[in-house]
Amino acid sequence: MRHFLTTRGLPQVDFEALLDRGEAFRQGAESHALAGLHVGLVFFNPSLRTRVSMEVAVSKLGGTPVTLSVGGDAWAMEYENGVVMDGAAAEHVREGAGVLGRYCDLLGVRSFPAGKDYAADRREPVLTAFAEHSGVPVVNLESPLDHPCQAMADAMTIRERLGAVKGRKVLLTWAYHPKALPMAVPNSFLLGASRLGVELVLARPEGYDLDPDIVETARRNAAASGGSLAVTGEAETAYDGASVVYAKSWGALADYGHPEAEAARRSKLKDWRVTEARMARGRDAVFMHCLPVRRNVVVDDAVLDGPRSVVLDEAENRLHAQQAILEWMSHVD
């Protein structure tokens, strides 16, 4: 059974094959890998790109998507073991995932962190429970620690825009946002981009380090691919010579579970914004963001609406990358 929960542990040959297959789908390749199959898409949190791109990807592969919003058109669900279920949750994941696995041939699950206890969130209890109890392959549609579908689309976009990527500078920069956001996207971008042989730079303010195990894995990826990974606290000079600027906000790991302290920390960091002047320090740099993005907060209109922006291409590549992922998952070793 092939799950797709993270790019960590994915052999490099499979990583590159998925990128190549995603590119083939972008150029019009067809596949009926999911003909006659049903794919359940379970959302514990809102979605625009992930939901629509997954539903279309399943349909393009000949399958039937079945989408559920937990707590909306499906029962609220409990996922901890041994609890007395006298609260809001009417269904336990053991039965919920088990039933969906009897109806569907594959499942996709999207679940954000609770944001209170980092050790608990990084165990990814919802995603892990579905993989354990459903009995069918599971694809991660974003979890507390990881967003591997986004990572594959991002890597596709970098290769598409740069062509020869080896040795090019790719900047992942923290950006201001009025609230603390999950770390799944920046984690996954580091994990994916570090496999491309690029000079990867992570720029973040004090307190906004990413998970140390994720960073260490990215360092190993970079070394294995002939690239590098550097971390800096410089908001301006980090742009120098960059071919790609990827902006994303995330919550301060140093203040995890303490929203008032985190809000006070980030309130002083509004200058961490992507501007035309900063982009001009790069090497004909393109601008990337996973979307949705707050205009003139994360990035200026001039960048987002200008020729440097590839955010719509990046979003489109979610569809093509996910076709490749679903096709790969449907194959049984």
pLDDT above 70 for 300: yes
| 22-26, 71-75, 303-307, 328-332: least confidently modelled range | 71-75
Task: Identify which has the larger pLDDT, 157 or 73.
Answer: 157
Residue 79: how many other CB atoms lie within 10 Å: 21
Q: What mean pLDDT is reported for the chain?
A: 96
| 15-19, 93-97, 199-203, 229-233: least confidently modelled range | 93-97
How many alpha carbons lie under 13 Å from residue 170 in its C-beta half-sphere? 32
CA 130 → CA 45, 86, 289, 305, distances in Å? 15, 22, 29, 40
H-helix segments, 108-173: 118-122, 125-133, 148-162
For 4-32, what is the mean pLDDT? 98
Tokens 């979003």 label which residue?
A: 315
Q: Say if residues 265 and 255 touch (Cβ distance below 8 Å).
A: yes
Residue 62: how many other CB atoms lie within 10 Å: 14
- Tens digit of each residue's pLDDT (9 = 90 or more) over 105-146: 999 999 999 999 999 999 999 999 999 999 999 999 999 999
**CA gap 154, 210 in Å, rounded:** 18
Q: In what order do the strands lie in the sheet with 138-140?
A: 64-69, 38-43, 106-110, 138-140
pLDDT above 90 for 75: no
- Tens digit of each residue's pLDDT (9 = 90 or more) over 178-193: 999 999 999 999 999 9
pLDDT above 60 for 333: no
Which DSSP symbol is given to 81? Answer: T
pLDDT of residue 100: 96
Count Cβ atoms within 10 A of the Cβ of residue 107 and give its class: 0-12 exposed, 13-18 middle, 19 or more buried: buried
Helix orientation angle between 148-162 and 12-26, rounded to the nearest 10 degrees: 70
- Tens digit of each residue's pLDDT (9 = 90 or more) over 77-113: 888 888 899 988 888 999 999 999 999 999 999 999 9
pLDDT of residue 73: 75
Strand partners, 286: 244
Checking phi first, is residue 2 left (phi over 0); if not, alpha (psi -120 to 50) or beta? beta
